[in-house]
Structure 1
Amino acid sequence: MKEFLAGAALLARGLGQWRRTPGAMALGLIPGAVVGLVLGAALVGWAILLSHVVDDWTPFADGWAPFWADALRAAIGAASFGAALFVVAISFTALTLTVGEPIYDRIWRATERSALGAVPDSEYGFWRGVGDSVRLVLRGILVAVLAWLVGLIPLVGGALGAIVGVSLTGWLLADELTSRSLSARGLDRKARRAVLRENRARALGFGVTTQLCFLVPLGAVAVMPAAVAGSTLWVHAALGETPRPATASRSSATQPTDPAR
């Protein structure tokens, strides 16, 4: 639990980047707002059509007693809307990171400099980011299907489906959000996953907290810049990279650079 909470705290620490680079963080709201409007409209449309879709899925229940037919359709409707929420949360992250690549790259670099004083040399690359985003969406759809199936379990399905969906989606978000910083350090996909597994509880704490914020109306838009900054700080903690002291940061800014160094 301690490591889980430590991961959640890193998202809160990401909010501190607003104090250091407010301009870049403010720009980070724009891609999320655009993508959020599109996905929000799709989610509202799904909610409006859902009752008709569920009726089309369950014609066999027309001859049932009204109580059992309504109970079945309510369970399917709730599970279907919950699954759509998870797909939207994953799609939001993937699309926002792709659309806002230059902006989030700027936030990442600013966080690296403010925390460590330098930016790793290895390039993340636009097409690598697109590939990661596509894989994220596909894995998110599988999670949504699993959460939907669990949600159909009588009585406890709703709660279990929510727990499964939030946990697995949180893991996927942690994987995607940390990929930039880990890749910039020369780690391939296999090595990145190994780092996440070694810090499983902390990754879940960060990812689940981010996911829960994304489920709050407008939360995804507001939290996305902090999630990018927080994921960078997560990598520093996972790899044991020591942040430079704030006093040293201020003094180094005022001292001339030795050309021989």
Structure 2
Amino acid sequence: MSEFGAGLAYLGKGQKWVARHGRWYGFGLLPGLVAFVLFAAALVALGFFADDIATWATPFADGWSETWRGVLRGLFMALLLVGGLALAVLSFTAVTLLIGEPFYEKLSEAVEESEGGAPDDAPRRPLWQELWISAKESLYVLSRALMFTIPLFFLGFIPLIGQTVIPAIGFAVSGFFLAAELTAVAMQRRGIAVRERLALLRGRKLLALGFGVPLVLLFLIPLVAVFVMPGAVAGATLLVRDVLARENEHERRQPQPHHPHQHPAFGLRKPEA
């Protein structure tokens, strides 16, 4: 199976897991419902004021003919709404995970226990510290995502490419960082810092995209994000377990470096000539 297909499979496995564990599914819905109400209100407000924002952002077009002024501001409004929706998709997971930190931590732990147990050396922190770390690392991931999404927003003004290639790239970027957000719960449990997590996912880009891009597309459908979020957390936990197990197995199979004067079997230094 390709890496992209494997990522998609983990998304399906997560949904199956919560379907078999109905109590945890209901438990995991609550944070998503709260976040959905907040984001829906923000997007409605953006749509209501989009015309005013477009007028404010393009004062140079005031002297244009009504047709061309309308085309420019209409395009700006469309891109503003698309950009707002993309930002909502990216930040929805971060905000939902922050609101639901205790919920998703317990859900992820339940998935780990059902698969053989969580790591024994998992760091134990008070809730306030977990929330602070999650907020700080989510802001870091969001800032990295904006480094791509802001240029893509302006590239969207390029005719043809801006309506075809750029949105496709945007979905890929959103999918990668969405996967980074969702795997954070299980990776934080293992003490893996945010930069290490991103580096690990960059090494498995297709796997991350296979998991994250379908979620981005699903999150574009109103309310769907709320219902797939518990399964997404479960699937991300399964993905982390398997990926790290393979990484560890790969490291164990690598020949261990030894000193040139060290005996390979006993670790003793050979006498100098």
Task: Give TM-score, length-normalised by structure 1.
Answer: 0.84
Match of 1:168 among 161, 169, 173: 173
Relative to structure 2, which stretch is displaced further, 84-93 or 136-145? 136-145
Note the 1:71-90 alignment, pairs <5 A: 71-90=71-90
Shift of 1:123: 2.8
CA contact (8 A) 2:104 2:185 kept: no
2:28 aligns with: 28
CA contact (8 A) 1:4 1:204 kept: yes
Amino acid aligned to 1:157: G
Aligned residues between the structures:
240
1:65 aligns with: 65
Shift of 1:196: 1.0
Please report the RMSD computed on the Cα atoms of aligned residues, expressed in angstroms: 2.0
Shift of 1:190: 3.7
Amino acid aligned to 1:119: A
CA contact (8 A) 1:79 1:147 kept: no
Shift of 1:130: 2.0
Structure 2 CA distance for aligned equivalents of residues 124 and 228 of structure 1 = 20
1:200 aligns with: 205
Runs (4+) off by over 4 Å: none
2:263 aligns with: none
Shift of 1:124: 7.2
1:211 aligns with 2:211: no
Structure with the greater alpha carbon radius of gyration: 2
Note the 1:239-250 alignment, pairs <5 A: 239-240=244-245
Shift of 1:140: 3.8
Unaligned runs of 5+ in 2: 247-273
2:257 aligns with: none
2:258 aligns with: none
Cα separation, partners in 2 of 1:124 and 1:29, compared to 1, 3 Å: farther
Matched-pair identity in %: 38
Structure 2 CA distance for aligned equivalents of residues 94 and 227 of structure 1 = 13
Unaligned runs of 5+ in 1: 242-261
Cα separation, partners in 2 of 1:161 and 1:44, compared to 1, 3 Å: farther
Relative to structure 2, which stretch is displaced further, 98-107 or 151-160? 151-160
CA contact (8 A) 1:7 1:206 kept: yes
Please state which structure has a larger fraction of its residues in helix: 1
Relative to structure 2, which stretch is displaced further, 27-36 or 130-139? 130-139
